[in-house]
Amino acid sequence: MLIFKVLHILSMFAAVTFLLGEALLYGRAVWRGDIAGLAAVRRLLGARPVVGVVFLVSGIAFGVLAALTGQIDLLEGWLVAAYAMVVALFLVNASPWVQRLPRLGAEAIEAVAGQGQPEQVVRAMGEIRTSVVIVVALNVALFLAIIVDMVLKPF
């Protein structure tokens, strides 16, 4: 049904916006070694990307419903490719580098409030800087690849 396709597209658009926005904000703060920026990102986004994940899971559900009601074979090559990329997306974001960001953000909040050690937060950001850039790049690449796959249906 068309409504499921529309809801799939809208949900996924929102998911990409929220999830990539979070990744880019965290990545920028870590890259710059900006404790106040990292603290602000953590305060604004919270401990987990709940809104983005809800939109992502909703988008997946609406996509499956759109395929089932639109007589699309769930084993079409382009859909299997999308499944693999979504799994890769979940694996990248379950990585220790990504999971470290909210905790590091909480440490930055404490440091900005004068309750923590700013030099320790700066050192930790420096230690994960390259990994965070790689993770952000992977997130961007995977989301772009999924979008291209969904639009072009190359397989």
Q: What is the pLDDT of residue 41?
A: 95
Integer Cα distance of 107 and 92 in angstroms: 23
pLDDT in tens, the chain (155 residues): 899 999 999 999 999 999 999 999 999 999 999 999 999 999 998 888 899 999 999 999 999 999 999 999 999 999 999 999 999 999 999 998 899 999 999 999 999 999 989 999 999 999 999 999 999 999 999 999 999 999 999 88
Integer Cα distance of 137 and 134 in angstroms: 5
Domain that holds residue 82: 2-152
Structure tokens at 23: 């990744």
What are the b/e assignments for 7-17, b being 16+ CB within 10 Å?
bbeebbebbbe
Q: What is the pLDDT of residue 1?
A: 86
The SS3 assignment for 149 reads helix
Integer Cα distance of 5 and 146 in angstroms: 16
Task: State how many domains the chain has.
Answer: 1
Q: What is the pLDDT of residue 46?
A: 87
Q: What is the pLDDT of residue 78?
A: 95
Q: What is the pLDDT of residue 135?
A: 95
Q: Are 142 and 92 in contact (CB under 8 A)?
A: yes
Structure tokens at 59: 């988008």
Structure tokens at 73: 């074979």
pTM for the full model?
0.87
